Amino acid sequence: MKLKVKSFLCLAAALFLFGAATCAAQSAIPKGLTDSTPNTAVLTAYDDWYAAEAKPNEAKIASKTIFTSPRCVVMLRDGGKGTLAKSHFHSTTDEIVVVMGGSGELLINGEWKQVKAGDVHINPRGNIHATRVAGSDDLKFVSIFTPVLPSGGDANFLTDGKAPVIPVGLSDSKPPTAVLANFQEWYKVNAKPEDPKIASQTIFTSPRVVVMLRDGGKGTLAKSHFHSTTDEIVIVMGGSGELLINGEWKQVKAGDVHVNPRGNVHATRVGADEDLQFVSIFTPALPAGGDANFLE
């Protein structure tokens, strides 16, 4: 009888300590961080959306918003054949475009550039840009606007035949001009697929956003943590791995789009067979010293 009582007391103590640790982890997350729609993390396969909702043969941009917060809006998009989005600039937001497939042309720093799958384009506020899809393919892409678009949008279209009037003081990014980088080209030179850590290169930063090209080598483990100031958008470009999303480990693959709101616990682990290739977008810019609050 004494043995049973002792065992019961040990079990109760263990459960108490586990509960205390769990509560401590939960209480470490400040209240009031949740202010997004949805208010939990998002995982969406771009290809699934494209198969169900894209309009590849219509000369317009089909779009679905999958996440919005005061810090950003994330859209899955498709520019159908013949699409033309005329020259314009944004006065409040930076726009990040990640090309998922197809082809098209973007007006970047005054020149039309052909884009393809794996291209990452960042257009700072105040920078004139445009889109045209003139070939036999449509243009598949993800758009992230940071911060969230104001009511009525933030596209300031230029008047034909008139010099553009862009307000002074909008340029505050590094670099101050638009960026076009190809993930696969970066991967060949910079990735460390055999190292169990995350290789990363920042290609753009402004007060509103940081954009990184990244590779999680085989065996990588980024422990459970949350961000207190930033939302993080992860777009998987290749390989495979697992992300802790809303308390469950989810296998991810090329084409997956994951949005993790501030205050939401998440983690990353990569198996021994394949590395995880991805783009990370933090909005707004990470504070000095970073914004990872680890729970263990």
CATH code, domain carrying 197: 2.60.120.10
pLDDT score at 256: 98
Residue 130 lies in a domain: yes
Could you tell me if 177 and 194 lie in one domain? no
Q: Is the pLDDT of residue 64 over 60?
A: yes
- Compute CA distances 13 → 27, 230, 251, 295, whole Å: 20, 37, 35, 22
Q: Is the pLDDT of residue 52 over 50?
A: yes
H helix or E strand, kind and range, residue 18: helix 2-27
pLDDT score at 62: 98
Residue 205 lies in a domain: yes
pLDDT per residue over 236-287, tens digit each? Answer: 999 999 999 999 999 999 999 999 999 999 999 999 999 999 999 999 999 9
Could you tell me if 134 and 235 lie in one domain? no
Residue 93 lies in a domain: yes
Write out the two tokens for 129.
Answer: 């840009």
| Separation between Cα atoms, residue 78 and residue 58, nearest integer Å | 10
Torsion of CA 142, 258, 256, 251, to 10 degrees: 180
pLDDT score at 164: 77
Confidence of residue 113 (pLDDT cuts 50, 70, 90): very high
Could you tell me if 96 and 212 lie in one domain? no
pLDDT score at 166: 85
- Compute CA distances 257 → 9, 48, 190, whole Å: 47, 11, 22
Residue 203 lies in a domain: yes
Could you tell me if 52 and 176 lie in one domain? yes
pLDDT score at 274: 98
Residue 19 lies in a domain: no
pLDDT per residue over 216-242, tens digit each? Answer: 999 999 999 999 999 999 999 999 999
pLDDT score at 229: 97
Q: Is the pLDDT of residue 13 over 50?
A: no
For a pLDDT cut of 90, what percent of the chain falls above it?
84
Write out the two tokens for 90.
Answer: 């944004």
pLDDT score at 184: 98
Could you tell me if 121 and 226 lie in one domain? no
pLDDT per residue over 123-160, tens digit each? Answer: 999 999 999 999 999 999 999 999 999 998 999 999 87
In angstroms, the first-to-last Cα distance of the chain is 38
Q: Is the pLDDT of residue 21 over 50?
A: no
Q: Is the pLDDT of residue 294 over 80?
A: yes
Could you tell me if 97 and 216 lie in one domain? no
**How many helices (H) and strands (E) would you count in the chain?**
3, 20
Q: Which of 17, 8, 101, 16 is nearest to 54 (CA)?
A: 101
**Which 3 state secondary structure label does DSSP give 95?**
strand
For a pLDDT cut of 70, what percent of the chain falls above it?
91
Domain count across the chain:
2
Could you tell me if 80 and 97 lie in one domain? yes
| Separation between Cα atoms, residue 73 and residue 59, nearest integer Å | 23
Residue 71 lies in a domain: yes
Residue 224 lies in a domain: yes
Could you tell me if 102 and 135 lie in one domain? yes
Q: What is the mean pLDDT of residues 173-191?
A: 98
Could you tell me if 79 and 176 lie in one domain? yes
pLDDT score at 278: 98
Range of the domain at 195: 183-294
Q: Is the pLDDT of residue 14 over 90?
A: no
Q: Which of 61, 57, 111 is nearest to 87 (CA)?
A: 111
Confidence of residue 8 (pLDDT cuts 50, 70, 90): very low
Could you tell me if 224 and 283 lie in one domain? yes
Q: Is the pLDDT of residue 90 over 90?
A: yes
Q: Which of 105, 100, 113, 160 is nearest to 132 (CA)?
A: 105
Is the alpha carbon torsion for 156, 131, 67, 52 positive or negative? Answer: positive
Residue 200 lies in a domain: yes
Q: What is the mean pLDDT of residues 49-67?
A: 98
| Separation between Cα atoms, residue 240 and residue 270, nearest integer Å | 7
Could you tell me if 177 and 202 lie in one domain? no
Could you tell me if 177 and 60 lie in one domain? yes
Distance between alpha carbon 10 and the CA centroid of its chain, in Å? 45
Average of per-residue pLDDT values in the chain = 91
